[in-house]
Amino acid sequence: MNLKNSNAARTTITRNVADLDVETGNVYEAVAILGKRANQISVQVKEELSEKLEEFAVVGENLEEVYENREQIELSKLYERMPKPTALAIEELMEGKVYFRHQEVVDPAATAVTKD
């Protein structure tokens, strides 16, 4: 998904909680899934920004020789204007683009071995 061209809200909006549990059937599960997806998005965006900012890094930089790079500033502003990871995660969930699965719970009583 292209995070920069997303339809996600750039500001806080009020959401109907009933709309969140359409995919999962449980609001709390949906919030947990949204939190995990938002963390994934946040890490992805941070790595992408770090890679792009490394191009502007200067080796042997002195405190007196720090210059502002206009392209670097514009790049940082672009990422600041992007929707927050939570808004992106909510948008993905609403569009049905989030994949999640339930972890199988193994019943310890069913796998217990008895000695005769």
| Separation of alpha carbons 1 and 26, rounded Å | 25
Q: Render pLDDT for 17-35 as a digit per residue (tens, 0 to 9).
A: 888 888 888 899 999 999 9
Q: Render pLDDT for 60-89 as a digit per residue (tens, 0 to 9).
A: 555 554 566 778 888 888 888 888 999 999
CA separation (Å) from 5 to 23, 37, 57, 73?
A: 24, 18, 27, 20
- Model-level pTM greater than 0.75? no
Residues in CB range of 20: below 8 A, 6 or more apart: 27, 30, 31, 34, 90, 93
CA angle in degrees (0–180, nearest 5) for 78-79-80 = 90
